[in-house]
Structure 1
């Protein structure tokens, strides 16, 4: 499995949305349980500002994985090596610099 080794901007945002199952009873009572073993996977909105030449390598990497194949990435806040997929990204090309924004979704396999 390949590793995404480019550095992302420190202004990255992390989204946590644990999956739960809820059963509602009468009088406002409800029971909640975890939905599966890996119910707390994260999503990361990342930005990279790179030279135009590097942007082509990043776009090639993301295109090669095509949102289907996962890859390894070192999460900058915890420095954990996690497995993610990227189903969408945007490139903003300027004269010498390209800004790429992407969403990395943590996956198990």
Structure 2
């Protein structure tokens, strides 16, 4: 069994724009007159998505985060504890952007999806 890499960014994400989102998974059957029935969908019914945002990063720090995500390939998972959350979770990165915000600085925003596979 291989060990997953841990994501340890050179700086913590900014408070503004960083968020952890929980979207419960359920099956819903709608009937007439607004009546519906709901049932939990599977055993991992509280998956998380996360947005990590760094407002101003030195170019080298942005490049280090970018290199980490690229090294994972398109589907590699990693371990990370979202700021303010004491639980280390398994994540994949779905998208990230690195706009230039100054001569030697960039911002970086990454979208993560929690994974439950073994």
> Same fold per TM (> 0.5)?
yes
Unaligned runs of 5+ in 2: none
Of 21, 30, 34, the residue aligned with 2:27 is: 21
- CA RMSD between the two structures: 1.5
- Structure 2 partner of 1:97: 105
Check whether the contact 1:3–1:72 (CA below 8 A) recurs between aligned residues. Answer: yes
1:22-67 CA-partner distances (Å, limit 9, x unpaired): 1233443211001111021111111123211121111111111134
How many pairs are equivalent? 109
Check whether the contact 1:84–1:105 (CA below 8 A) recurs between aligned residues. Answer: yes
TM score, norm. by length of structure 2:
0.83
Unaligned runs of 5+ in 1: none
Moved over 6 A (4+): none
- Structure 1 partner of 2:116: 108
Q: Does residue 80 of structure 1 match 2:87? A: yes
TM score, norm. by length of structure 1:
0.89
Check whether the contact 1:85–1:104 (CA below 8 A) recurs between aligned residues. Answer: yes
Aligned-residue offset at 1:17: 1.4
Bigger share in strand:
1
- Structure 2 partner of 1:64: 71
